Chain A
Amino acid sequence: MGAGVAADNGVGIDLRQPPAQVGIGLRQPHYAALFETAPALGFVEVHSENFFADGGAALAVLRQARERYPVSLHGVGLALGSAAGLDPWHLDRLARLVQRIEPVRVSDHACFARAAFAPGAPVVHANDLLPIAFSDASLSIMASSVMQAQERIGRPMLVENLSSYVSFADESMSEPEFFAALCRRTGCGMLLDVNNIMVNALNARVADPLAACCAFVDALPLGIVGEIHLAGYCETGGETDGIVIDDHGSRVRPAVWAVYEHALRRFGAVPTLVEWDTDLPAFDLLLGEASHAAGLAARVAA
């Protein structure tokens, strides 16, 4: 861990930045609207990998956005939980992007994607956020990779909890325990996706999903959450055998807003992102969701 990473709160990052900064996920169809309307936003967040190229228009747009807003780099491909380890190529590209953009935050997921189909076979990248088991072995893998990544980019990062469609029966700790230990060991923070908690609770068919999500939030230590994600989900299949998909393709559901409010009461004014990645809405609707988040944060802070 590089100098200056550790800090008093034990997670090495100023996680409480009142007042709450609310941002939006910036996607290509909204580029023009962002620059034309220049809305008051706390930050914009992009998928890091979309800007890994040596040059080109996308990078130019991101640099333009950076002149106006803090930029948060949110990765979907580092695959921090892969037993095969990190891809040095990926880490180099991320480090270069961090240097180019000087983001306000850098984050990725508690997942795996790099693995071989068989022992000794070449490692491939699944290009998905595949679930890890919450076990001591997974924790060691994650901690090692998070520390390697933080060392390479020269700053602490945030790690996001997943929505997952399968889980493992032989886990040795709960997800909040896993994240608490990860943050303690590595100095990283947590990117708390409250929609993902809800998706998992619904897929687990718990009796009271909202209560389960609030219990998840309550089980997290104070001071580790550095950003919150909000998004929409969709239901597929029937009532008995269907599953809920975290598709980021609709408005935030009322129950997810309720979990968000609960999280704000527990963690205070945490930077918050509204993600919308599929079936992108009109820019104004996305801004409306962000305004709603800001209003809730203000109400909780009052």
Chain B
Amino acid sequence: MNEAQRQRDLLAALATGAPSIATLRESGERAARGLEAYRANAEAIADRALASTFVTVQAMVGDEDFKHLAREFWRAHPPEHGDLGEWGDAFPSWLAVHAGLTAWPWLADSARVDLALHRNERAGDASLDTDSLHLLESTDPAQLRLLLMPGTAVLRSPWPIAAIHSAHQLAGEAAERAFAGVRESLAAQRGEQVLVARQGWRAVVHPLEAPTAAWTQDLLDEVDLATALTRAGESFDFAAWLGIALRESWLKGVAASND
């Protein structure tokens, strides 16, 4: 038999739940049990892989519903690579249009925060290029770009994504108070912006004011420093932001535009 055909048949049998395929040595109940062992393993792997990335989403929908979502998502968007750490980019957008989740419109943006955290923790390691900071004194800002650490991301949402994430980090009475605040913010449709950056080895969420989020996004988009400052407006305190960026290790360095 053609091996490509054989492999397609087996993959399809596992995905669709078909009871058997033509060239199996096993038959009947024994074949069904064998195929089911593979299906169960695939489902468990899909669940574990997505759950390790989308921690907040799993906490919101519950373990059982998350398992169902993981199975559905596997069928809709099966992995392309053998590293499941790379799988799941499409999950937030898939959640956004899932017919069964329309009552939780913030779920997709919370998934985007989870994904940004996951991506950040897999990003390349880097440290501040302190020498490059001298460029801030010696070079025209129009010729400079501020470089943020690998994996840094800014997310903006019409939902309280920072509060939702934060509440899921808490326990006990603190969590109850935080979730009460989340419910208020959801009712008021209070949008939030966050920065995802690494702190030590862990990626963390920093709530941002809208102007700072726009400024940070400009930096991620490699807008030159002069233009970014102009867009941020006179009320933006660059020196204060720089102090925080250095303290929190957000900044990787400064680059001249011709670098």
Contacts and interface: CB of A to CB of B under 8 A. Distances in A.
A100 to B, nearest CB: 12
Find the residue from A49, A52, A55 having the highest chain B CB count within 10 A: A55
Interface residues of B, number: 47
Contacts of A123: 80
Contact of A130 (B1, B23, B38, B121): B38
Interface stretch (B8-16, B63-71, B132-140, B159-167): B8-16
Interface string B221-233: 0000000000000
Given A49-B85, A112-B7, A243-B30, A124 B38 contact: no
Interface in A53-77: 53-57, 59-60, 75-77
A285 interface: no
Interface stretch (A18-26, A80-88, A183-191): A80-88
A246 B59 CA distance: 30
Interface stretch (A32-40, A164-172, A250-258, A289-297): A164-172
A76 B82 CA distance: 8
B26 interface: yes
Contacts, number: 156
A241 B82 CA distance: 32
Given A55-B125, A60-B201, A77 B82 contact: yes
Interface of A: 49-50, 52-57, 59-60, 75-79, 82-84, 87, 89-90, 93, 112-119, 122-128, 130-133, 135, 137-138, 141, 164-170, 203, 236-237, 241-243, 245
8 contacts: A122-B80, A126-B11, A128-B45, A130-B38, A133-B23, A165-B37, A166-B25, A170-B1
Given A115-B11, A123-B80, 12 more contacts: A49-B82, A53-B121, A54-B150, A56-B121, A57-B201, A117-B11, A130-B10, A133-B23, A165-B33, A170-B1, A243-B33, A243-B34
